Structure 1
Amino acid sequence: MASEEIETSKFLKDREAGINESEKREDPISSDTLCGFSIFKGPALQRFATAHMFVIMYGIASCFLAMAFTYFTGTISQMEKRFNIPSKISGLITVGNDISTVFSSAFLSYYASRGHRPRWVALGLLIIALFCLLMLTPHFFYGPGEEALRLTEEYEIEESFANFSVNSTEKNDSLCHKKDSNCVKDAGDYTPIVLFFIAQFIGGIGCSLFYAPGLSYMDDNSASSKTPAMLSWSTFLRMLGPAMGFSMVSLCLRLYIDPFKTPLITPNDPRWLGAWWLGWFLLTFILIISAFFVALFPKELPRAKARRLKAVGEEDTPLAERSFQDMLDSLKRLAVNKVYIYNMLASILYFFGYMPYWIFTPKYIEIQYRQSASTANMATGTWALGFSAAGVLISGYVISKYKPSARAMAAWNFVVDYLTVAGILCYILVGCDESDRANSMSIVPTGDSCSASCDCEYVYLAPVCSPENMTFISACHAGCTEKGLDELGRIIYTGCRCMGNSLNLTSFSNVTSLASQSQIALDGVCPVDCNKQFFIFLAVMCFLKFVGATGRSSNLLLALRCVPSKDKTFSLGFGSMVYSVLTFIPSPIVFGWMLDSYCLVWGKTCTSKGNCWIYDTKSLRYTMNLVSASLIFLGSFWNIGVWYHAKDMKVFDEEETAPQNNPIEAIELKEKPKEIVTDKK
């Protein structure tokens, strides 16, 4: 009996020692769960090693990343003017990040998932900072440009020193080039284009490193019951990015490209070049700071490690089963999944048709409604995104409360498509007749007898306004021979042989002789009032943003529930690759080419056409909107197929057991698998 007690006592001691040893081994505070690196670590940081803190930091970093790519979108028109880039080339630059994403996303995501994921995310942020720095370098290599400097008071002063008399014959001859004169030798250098493309390409690699490791880390280190709340916070913070990006663009473009010089024109002048480069300074700095704070998080959060150890390694099983054959089997299952295939086809057509409104909306507003670049970006980044956020929140609440069936959500996606088509068709009707008429009258044939003595083909864009409220490309095109000042100190051109006879004397009342008014022109574009049409356009755009955003949650749930749990991650990754190849890469190039095809006035140089200054706004408005509406309309028929085959699909039964990282990934996909911007619907 005594021996049994001794053995029992020994057993209990050994068991207690074993438990203590096991607890010591499973102690979550280990090297993998310690915050910080190098000299930046210690107990003071450890209290921040929580899933909530990571969600906040990751959401803020996502906001800054979206802000960077939105800033690029908002400054496209300014870069085109500064470096004489056609829209089809700027579209090609835009898809640089999609090209790198296609080739790097799968490999980098797989490799980074097995390492210190917060530091991979931080590396992605540093690469995005490098993208911002590369976007900045062309300005330091090339400066503001002679065309921009010519429109400053300082340049006029320098010219006055070079020319002793403003009214000298040589000065007047500058109104037009004599035949056989030298052309404009200010462009033809493709270095800025190459730098911009490389920057975008590098940015895509940074996004691949940022999203996949960050999202999987968030999921693996969060309790499933808390994931919805964390997802909401992350989405909210991320949605601030485009709004902040467009707001920064608006503020920067209010400044002249050289802020230390005094411009002679206003931001409403088509020749205005804003300080597009200024925001890249701040973006580079805040992304580096964000990378530092994200890198402080441990390889695994303490609470998450404790949960994983209790799960007896069940998290490691799926990784062991991964193989190339398993990927092929998943691909075969997706190929016969009609809901998945139909939803993908509908999304491809929708994304392709809506792409120009994500990339070229500020430019569209500038050329259609004669608004400044600053106003166009502010409208795009504040009101529109506010309505989009409201649509997401309201639809999420409705779905959570009423839990509609899969068919009901598929039907709503179909309705959203048709409302989107209706709104885009309204864009056609919301045109500015004054702007259309002014643009159509701006073109004077180069062989016209009134300006035949001059070679106007390579003259800088320097618009002048005739008494008929008709804008000419330059005083040369108007056939003017003299330059001077009127009684109000305004620059006027006289001897303009290309002017008509009908007079609109509102702006010319201070010219002394009516006989001479038919031969004069005022410096600058003629006033055009498109404010009413602009506000109507904004109202329609906000409606489309709201309606489209209400379809996000339903489309998200359909995409998640139409495939087996084991195929969800692969299905989202495969879909992202397909969308990039078939939509995000070709669509900007196609619509950029479309914009160029309706150009009326090119900034011609000795070696190339350069950028477009004046568009056929009416024809462009009809063509672009009809093509976009047609593509979305065709995509809606595939949504009918989704509705038909989703009749037996369950949406909410698997809500607790479904992997929680997929909803986050799907939201990234639906908002813009690229980085940024803006929203898909």
Structure 2
Amino acid sequence: MAPSKKPIVRNGAYEEQHHAMLQKKDIEYEVIDPALTRCGIGPLTCAALQKFATIKVFCAVLCLVTVVSMIQGVYLIGVIRQLEKRFGLRGSETGLILSMDDFVHIGLILFIGHIGDRVNKPKVIASAVIFTALGGFLMSLPHFLYEGELNEQMHKLNPNLINKTQQENASFSMNSDQTGLCHLGVFNQSEQDRQCLSGEKRSGFSKNPGAYGIFLAAKVLMGIGGSPVSTYGMTYIDENVPKVSDSSFYLGLVRMTYAWGPILGLLLSGVMVKIPNDLKESHLTPEDTDFIGAWWLAYVFLPFILLILAVPLAFFPKHLPHARKIIKDTETKDHWRKTHTGHTVKDNLKDFFLSFGELLRKPAYVCLVINSTLGVYIIYTLFVNMPRYIEAQFQQPVFISNIISGSSSAVAGSVGIFLGGFILRRRKLKPPGAAKILAITLFLSTVGLGVAMIFNCPQDHLAGYTPGEPKWEPSLPCNGNCSCDLELYKPVCGSDKRSYYSQCYAGCSQQTGKRSFADCACTKSLDNSTVSSYNSTSSALKGLCRPSCMAVIPFAIVLAVVAFINSIGAVPSTILMFRIVGDSRKAFALGVNSFVYNLLGFIPGPIVAGIIVDTTCIVWQRSCGKTGGCLLYSADLQRQRMVGATVGVKIVILVFSLIVYALVRRQHWDDEPDSEDQKVKIEMKDHHSNDTSTKKLMTKNHTDA
């Protein structure tokens, strides 16, 4: 074992004073080879590049990489319905696509965390970003491979269509609005069954296993690329800041990008799904159920941005100049020496299990991991589904719902994350202080969610639906003789300001425009008279009615406040985990945390959340006896089950946070190395003379008299 090295200082008095202090505190400094702090790749390490080897530049590049990567990842959620329609994929299949990168992440994250102390983190991150970019390019490939299939399949639906315009107008469906009007008689179920068996009644596309396989492979590449970025990025920042108190500030900046990435991805998907799939003018509009947007377009330019950002990442050195590389105690010294010397496979496995066992013996760390895992269920149950929650609760269009949920998550959330990091840096809080902030913010955000449940707009405008019931029964006396098809859900808003299941269930016998209907028996009066009594003054328009309810405004305010308060605890939670496990275990601790919340959170989380959300559905997509996705949700059931489940999980998280506070409060936490009486800054300067260099390490001290 190599002997430990003492700091080299300019002045003999300084040397004696500092050496005595360091011996007293048992603090030792790693003397880093200056070659490991040179910015560049291979021989390209010119002096002009060295000014970029700072924590500020690295943090800026990492923030951009994180934002673009998250945009690319969350973007898929916004366009998943386009893929289902375009390639005939079922919900279970698209669910596997969404989760595939999590499976890969689980297989890699423990290994990545374990070798974190031995690799050049920025260069590994750069390689990972390239994998993410390749996965993005691969996601767009099915569009180019199967583009010709689009027109061919539309032509099969109607062989009489001879040009593209007619094909677009037909749009995969043989059921026009005219066939959905009210016609006197009894619905002929046997005729519908015959059409289903013969293939006359069909919509969408047949299975495309080739495209499905490509999507899975693309997500595998994204999973490989996404695994090291967060773990190595945050530990690299914490290891290379000049002062410990700066860590929370820079980590807060990175965590802010986690708030902006998802909403930007959803907004981008909202823009792309409005553009026709072939980028040409179409007679269809995004409001038409058969319209397919340019889902693939973002997967062309987002990977290019990632490839550009990978270049500066690859130039960063293993250690930044002036890095805070402190080995504080004997246990940490031994670990450092082990991880920087040669290892056999047996030694690596032994060290892995020893490290894992050491983490399990830290109950505060275990509680934080449980909190991270439970937090995933909150994300999927409520916040991922927030646009559809707002749409159902307040009858807002999808675009407005995205703006409301996005503004609260991105703006308020990012400000809260920044404030949390600022408080830690300004107050120089120790772990008990960070744990106290975490518990307080969890309590206040839980109360805020309870308040948010108060605001809603009643769904009493749905004709035939009783609020709180699990199904919408649209049959009324006024449409009893209309021979309506329950599988044809095309809601209309009647002149009586009530929403009807379809133009047929509104009793409409005429279509006067692309979006308007006339002679609607059920909209004639509030008594829902019989179909024989309709007159020309009753009408209806496509789409659900939008009641004049202003409850969405106070709800948006409360939601923003909840997001702000909840996000304040993000940085304290990360810093708390770092301080609990110690300097040498940070990468491994983050890796274990990521492994657990991916295995127990991100894989079952979407399934559990989906079950909860599905129990609030009152209108399902149906065709030829098969059930598809949900078309309309119950506002009351959503409020009771989605928000109720979220509040329940947050209460459990709050309990574990209080346990963490009680545990860390009992421990004694030494002052950090950059406190007033121990402030030590390591500087390294290269002195080049001919072809040789001299290694120097200066220690500056501000001591009391």
TM-score (norm 1): 0.73
Find out whether 1:592 has 2:596 as its counterpart: no
- What's the offset of the Cα at 1:354? 3.8
* Distance change (3 Å), C-alpha of 1:264 and 1:566: closer
Pairs within 5 Å for 1:171-210: 172-173=178-179, 175=181, 179-180=191-192, 181-182=195-196, 183-187=201-205, 189=207, 191=209, 195-210=214-229
* Distance change (3 Å), C-alpha of 1:618 and 1:199: farther
Q: Which residue of 1 aligns with 2:349?
A: 324
Q: Which residue of 1 aligns with 2:581?
A: 563
Find out whether 1:248 has 2:276 as its counterpart: no
* Distance change (3 Å), C-alpha of 1:306 and 1:97: closer
Alpha carbons 1:413, 1:551 under 8 Å: kept: yes
Find out whether 1:367 has 2:399 as its counterpart: no
Describe the SS at the equivalent of 1:132.
helix
Name the aligned partner's letter for residue 440 of structure 1.
Answer: Y
Q: Which residue of 2 aligns with 1:466?
A: 494
* Distance change (3 Å), C-alpha of 1:625 and 1:302: closer
- What's the offset of the Cα at 1:547? 0.6
Higher relative contact order (CA 8 A, sep 6+): 1
Alpha carbons 1:409, 1:555 under 8 Å: kept: yes
Describe the SS at the equivalent of 2:631.
strand
Counterpart-to-counterpart distance in 2, 1:328 and 1:356: 34
Task: Show structure 2 runs of 5+ residues with no match.
Answer: 1-31, 327-332, 679-705
Counterpart-to-counterpart distance in 1, 2:632 and 2:122: 48
Find out whether 1:388 has 2:416 as its counterpart: no
Q: Which residue of 2 aligns with 1:664?
A: none
Q: Which residue of 2 aligns with 1:132?
A: 136
Counterpart-to-counterpart distance in 2, 1:629 and 1:564: 33
Q: Which residue of 1 aligns with 2:68?
A: 64
Q: Which residue of 2 aligns with 1:158?
A: 166
1:410 to 419, 422, 435: 435
Counterpart-to-counterpart distance in 1, 2:136 and 2:61: 20
Higher helix share: 1
Name the aligned partner's letter for residue 368 of structure 2.
Answer: N
Task: Show structure 1 runs of 5+ residues with no match.
Answer: 1-25, 163-168, 505-512, 659-681
Greater CA drift, 443-452 or 182-191: 443-452
Q: Which residue of 2 aligns with 1:107?
A: 111
Find out whether 1:456 has 2:479 as its counterpart: no
Alpha carbons 2:86, 2:204 under 8 Å: kept: no
1:288 to 276, 293, 307: 307
Describe the SS at the equivalent of 2:517.
strand
Alpha carbons 2:246, 2:425 under 8 Å: kept: no
Q: Which residue of 2 aligns with 1:345?
A: 370
Alpha carbons 1:334, 1:340 under 8 Å: kept: yes
Q: Deviations over 1:506-554 (max 9, x none)?
A: xxxxxxx995148x54240243136622222221211111111122233
Greater CA drift, 572-581 or 346-355: 346-355
Q: Which residue of 1 aligns with 2:24?
A: none
The count of aligned residue pairs is 601
Q: Deviations over 1:597-616 (max 9, x none)?
A: 33222222348422221122
Alpha carbons 1:419, 1:547 under 8 Å: kept: yes
Q: How large is the Cα RMSD of the aligned pairs?
A: 4.6
Counterpart-to-counterpart distance in 2, 1:83 and 1:560: 45
Counterpart-to-counterpart distance in 2, 1:598 and 1:436: 18
Find out whether 1:50 has 2:50 as its counterpart: no
Counterpart-to-counterpart distance in 1, 2:642 and 2:560: 19
Counterpart-to-counterpart distance in 2, 1:155 and 1:465: 34
Greater CA drift, 476-485 or 327-336: 476-485
Alpha carbons 1:359, 1:588 under 8 Å: kept: no
Alpha carbons 2:59, 2:237 under 8 Å: kept: yes
Name the aligned partner's letter for residue 553 of structure 1.
Answer: V
* Distance change (3 Å), C-alpha of 1:195 and 1:440: farther
Alpha carbons 1:63, 1:240 under 8 Å: kept: yes
Counterpart-to-counterpart distance in 2, 1:170 and 1:213: 55
- What's the offset of the Cα at 1:454? 4.3
Alpha carbons 2:101, 2:223 under 8 Å: kept: yes
Counterpart-to-counterpart distance in 1, 2:143 and 2:451: 39
Counterpart-to-counterpart distance in 2, 1:161 and 1:200: 34
Counterpart-to-counterpart distance in 2, 1:375 and 1:598: 21
Describe the SS at the equivalent of 1:70.
helix
Find out whether 1:527 has 2:551 as its counterpart: no
Find out whether 1:431 has 2:456 as its counterpart: yes
Alpha carbons 1:560, 1:568 under 8 Å: kept: yes
Q: Deviations over 1:34-91 (max 9, x none)?
A: 73479xx574864465134433323322221122223334445665676677767655
- What's the offset of the Cα at 1:625? 1.0
Q: Which residue of 2 aligns with 1:543?
A: 561
* Distance change (3 Å), C-alpha of 1:125 and 1:329: closer
Name the aligned partner's letter for residue 555 of structure 1.
Answer: S
* Distance change (3 Å), C-alpha of 1:638 and 1:389: same
Name the aligned partner's letter for residue 454 of structure 2.
Answer: L
- What's the offset of the Cα at 1:499? 5.9
1:635 to 648, 653, 664: 653
Counterpart-to-counterpart distance in 2, 1:453 and 1:434: 25
Counterpart-to-counterpart distance in 1, 2:90 and 2:206: 12
Counterpart-to-counterpart distance in 1, 2:627 and 2:335: 62
Counterpart-to-counterpart distance in 2, 1:121 and 1:160: 45
Alpha carbons 1:127, 1:206 under 8 Å: kept: yes
Pairs within 5 Å for 1:571-610: 571-606=589-624, 608-610=626-628
Describe the SS at the equivalent of 2:207.
coil
* Distance change (3 Å), C-alpha of 1:246 and 1:483: closer
- What's the offset of the Cα at 1:366? 3.1
Name the aligned partner's letter for residue 364 of structure 2.
Answer: V
Describe the SS at the equivalent of 2:503.
coil
Alpha carbons 1:96, 1:200 under 8 Å: kept: yes
- What's the offset of the Cα at 1:207? 0.6
Counterpart-to-counterpart distance in 1, 2:668 and 2:79: 45
Find out whether 1:611 has 2:593 as its counterpart: no
Counterpart-to-counterpart distance in 1, 2:296 and 2:548: 29
